[in-house]
Amino acid sequence: MPVLSEELRNRIRAEFPKYPDKRAVTLPALHIVHDALRMVSPAAIVEIAELLELHPSEVSDTMTFYGFFHDKTPLGKRRVWVCRSISCMLRGGEELLAGLCNRLGVKPGQTTADGSVTLEYAECLGACEGAPCMLVNDECHMNLTEDSAAELIRK
C-alpha cells in the first residue's frame, strides 16, 4: 500500500516545471511530504525517489543532510524550536529551553504524550535582535521569557 496519496504525488509533480530537472525537486518534495505526514518514512523516501527517478539513497542523503526532517516518528501538531545561538544563550535561551522541557515533560527532540508539541532546539534561528527566540511551526517569537514562551505553547 502506498504511503504517498495521489494528491501528494500530484503536488510533487506540480514542482517539476519549476526546476531544471527532477533531481532539483528533491528538497521541495521532502518538504511537501514532511508537511503533510509530519515525517518522511523510509517507505516515503522510496516513493519520492521513484517519482524523481532517483535512487532512494540520493533522496535519503538530501534528507539526512538537514536536521529539519523527521523519519522515525511523526512530529506533534506544533513544532517548537528554541534557539541556542550565543545571543539567545546570553539572554536566557538555555533557561527557556529547560523551562519548556520541564513544563512539557519532554527532552529536546521528543513529542509530548498527547502528540500536541514536539520540542527541539536550533543552533540559530537568525533572529538575534530578539533573543531569546523560538519558532512555533513557521512563526518566530522574540524577546521571550519562560512565562511568555509557556503561554505561546498553551495557546
| DSSP secondary structure letter of residue 115 | S
Residues 97-115 have pLDDT tens digits of 999 999 999 999 999 999 9
Rounded to two decimals, the pTM is 0.76
Over range 24-53, report the average pLDDT.
96
43 has a pLDDT exceeding 90: yes
pLDDT of residue 153: 85
Q: What is the C-alpha separation between 120 and 108, in angstroms, rounded?
A: 5
Mean pLDDT, rounded, of the chain: 94
Domains along the chain with CATH numbers: 6-65 (1.10.10), 78-154 (3.40.30.10)
Residues 2-15 have pLDDT tens digits of 999 999 999 999 99
82 has a pLDDT exceeding 90: yes
Nearest alpha carbon to residue 19 among 33, 29, 8: 29
